[in-house]
Amino acid sequence: QVQVVESGGDVVQPGGSLRLSCAASGSIFSINAMAWYRQAPGKQRELVAGISKVGATMYAESVKGRFTISGDTSKNTIYLQMNGLKPEDMAVYYCNTRARLSEEDPQSDYWGQGTQVTVSS
């Protein structure tokens, strides 16, 4: 009942920039938070950046100062501006939406299919 779609992944040079977008839709009662995760080959999926219902943000130490999460959970849309990209940033980036479908339902996580970010010279 909830669809999450990411876009914006591409192949870029080291030091380049990229902007990812995520939109959630469907029978959503409320969204508590939305976030970006990434998973590189051979590694665990990790939290990159998140934004709460009230606009509070958090970032992984490795991306602080380079990445910026923005958007509005009330509009079911977030973005991730990535600057100064490094080869270590290469991964599949996933958008996560923590939402409730009704007042009676618990919060659940909904995931997009992911978008590939490749950083290579």
Overall average pLDDT of the 4-15 stretch: 98
For 30-80, the pLDDT digits (tens) are 999 999 999 999 999 999 999 999 999 999 999 999 999 998 888 899 999
> What pLDDT, on a 0 to 100 scale, did the predictor assign at position 72?
83
75: helix, coil or strand?
helix
Q: Is the pLDDT of residue 102 over 90?
A: yes
Report the alpha-carbon distance of residue 116 to residue 85 in Å, rounded.
Answer: 14
First to last CA, the chain: 41
Report the alpha-carbon distance of residue 109 to residue 6 in Å, rounded.
Answer: 15
For 106-121, the pLDDT digits (tens) are 999 999 999 999 999 8
Q: Give Cβ neighbours of residue 102 (< 8 Å, ≥ 6 apart).
A: 29
Amino acid at residue number 110: Y
Overall average pLDDT of the 5-17 stretch: 98
Report the alpha-carbon distance of residue 20 to residue 62 in Å, rounded.
Answer: 18
